[in-house]
A and B are shown apart, each in its own frame.
Chain A
Amino acid sequence: MIHYIIRRTIYLIPILLGAAMIFFLIFNVVGGQDRYLYNMLPKKVRTADQIEVYRHKYGLDKPLVAQYLDYVKQMVTFNFGKSESRKLPVTRLIKRMVPVSAALTFPAFTMEIIISLVLAALCAFFRGRFIDKLLTILSVIGMSISMLVLIMVGQYFLSYRLHLFPISGWQRGIYAVRYLMLPWLLWVTVSVGYDIRFFRTALLEEVHKDYIRTARAKGLNETTIMFRHVLKNAMIPILTYVVIQIPFLLTGSIMLERFFSIPGIGSLMVTAIFNYDLPVLKAIVMVYTLFFVVFSLLTDILYAFVDPRIRLS
């Protein structure tokens, strides 16, 4: 087990290097560096001399390999310099915005999972009956609506017309909840459709297995079978599904953050792409990748925890 964790942690290094490479290729080779420099610089300094100055300042006159190595060095020291558009150290920006995104995504995600798990269990328990069919139809409808439409309609009616929520904005501390209520609601509405269907399938796949028939032959009632046997076995795919989504929570929700002016990582990411603010993007890529790899490792460990058949080696 310890061995496995160590090996997987070491595997993190090539993954990080690879992620940095892909990212490096997109901006420096596909896009071309001149374009990058040109877009990044403020309008008044976009003269040939100034561009050369900046080219040297950012080390873009070095060979590509050296530039990539610079990037790697930045990753190791976690020092990405200053954001060009915001004039702030990248680390500070990230540190400030991750909690904002997390305040949006984590409560919403928790609610989403609890609600859809309960509803999916209902579906599986009353499979083929009215409630199951109704929820199945509703989840297909939910899966087919664009989030943008929901956001616009939700904001128009609930905030603009009914004044239930503030239209958009942000405040620090506990007051943030006021601004987060509607985004949470929209998030849950958009995602439960997918979840219900996934959980329902995971549960129903177990319902038809032989050991459930054995449990019935033992004289167990359906409720016990559902909660003690089915749910425990279905927990394996469900846990994977849930844990693997956690890293995504970190990057926030680009749409919700931009629409409701929530200063989180998602909106930071989009503006950084537009402004060619590479230091910020590099940091986001690294933080996200780290998170992703750590959480996939966590999934594997959880797996071994829930399923006695799996031994990590």
Chain B
Amino acid sequence: MNNTILEIKNLKTYFHTEEGTVRAVDDVSFSIKDGEILGLVGESGCGKSVTSLSIMGLVPVPPGKIEGGQILFEGKDLLKMSEKELQKIRGDEITMIFQEPMTALNPVSRIGDQIAEVLEFHTDLDKKKRWEKAVEMIKLVGIPEPEKRARSYPHEMSGGMRQRIIIAMALIQNPSLLIADEPTTALDVTIQAQILDLIKKLNNQFHSAVLLITHDLSVIAENADRVVVMYAGKLVESADVKTLFNNPKHPYTKGLLKSIPILGKPDKKLHIIRGTVPNLIDLPPGCPFFNRCTEAMEKCENELPEIISLDNDGHLVRCHLYRQEHTT
């Protein structure tokens, strides 16, 4: 149960644009264990989506390029695999759910065909069996009248339904890792909860590990086992959910947690993290959070802090504040 299924080591994914090099993911390392839900949090543009695309091998090249690091999936480096080998893994062992269900399905092809297509490439089932399995899967993700729905087109469905279809597509081959990139951002609040419940339920049922990417801390609090916090392309803190929410260390994480509204305390003023995310093209040499940090010290401006391990349970933080404790 506790085997590491995916391990990312020092991943660097850069985008070489006309304006300069964007270090979308810069030296990020974390791992996902079998069957767990790992939350990846951060503001938009902090590199969470690029991380997931890097795992899938779907970073658009050019302008994007993976400049270094390793992505070990069951011990094998995905970055060293050929496109053919990757195609075997994609959709079969690693699958993905996207943020925008409205555009993520092929508009001119039937739902059932689009789901069955996964089986065409990853199994030897004949056409009829594939269709039957697709229908079964549509039923499993909670869509009524699956036979009829399989024959309909994406535009005949709501966003929530489409997202369920994409989940069906992602889970039909019982993957070891499911990447859910902001799966609920584009949906109504009521649907959001349903979709997350579905993901959680299927995570139990299929024992797939889930990399849940979101900017919404409440989604993480409810669903994830462990959390990785990213800021400006860098990992700033990582811990299990309880530790992170009870005992955040990095000033950014603290700020994030303080900015969640608490039900029943309407008069409590919400915390604001002042300032804006620095431009990823010419990052200052020091801590990327320096210009917004309330606890910034002198050396933060010019010296990028190392990642420090705070305890034996994998609570990591990238901040100068904790350097002393660590070394002594």
Contact = CB atoms under 8 A, between A and B. Distances in A.
Interface stretch (B36-44, B102-110, B125-133, B271-279): B102-110
Given A218-B90, A219-B87, A309-B153, A213 B58 contact: yes
A236 B107 CA distance: 12
Interface string A26-50: 0000000000000000000000000
B166 interface: yes
Contacts, number: 79
Interface of B: 56, 58, 62, 83-84, 87-92, 95-96, 98, 100, 103-109, 117-118, 121-122, 153, 155, 166, 169-170
User: Which of the listed residues B107, B121, B153 has the most CB atoms from chain A within 10 Å of its own CB?
Assistant: B107
Given A210-B98, A213-B98, A309-B155, A218 B91 contact: yes
Contact of B118 (A128, A219, A222, A229): A219
Interface string A208-231: 011101111111111010001100
Contact of B103 (A210, A216, A220, A307): A210
A222 B58 CA distance: 12
Please name the 4 residue pairs, one residue from A and one from B, whose CB atoms are nearest each other, closest first.
A219-B91, A218-B91, A219-B90, A210-B103
Contacts of A229: 106, 109
B312 to A, nearest CB: 36
A228 B110 CA distance: 12
B55 to A, nearest CB: 11
Q: Chain B contact residues: over half helix, strand or loop, or mixed? A: mixed
B106 A217 contact: no
Interface string A2-42: 00000000000000000000000000000000000000000
A308 B84 CA distance: 33
A232 B89 contact: no
A220 B107 contact: no
Given A219-B118, A220-B121, A309-B155, A211 B105 contact: yes
B56 A217 contact: yes
B107 A307 contact: yes
Given A219-B88, A220-B87, A214 B121 contact: no
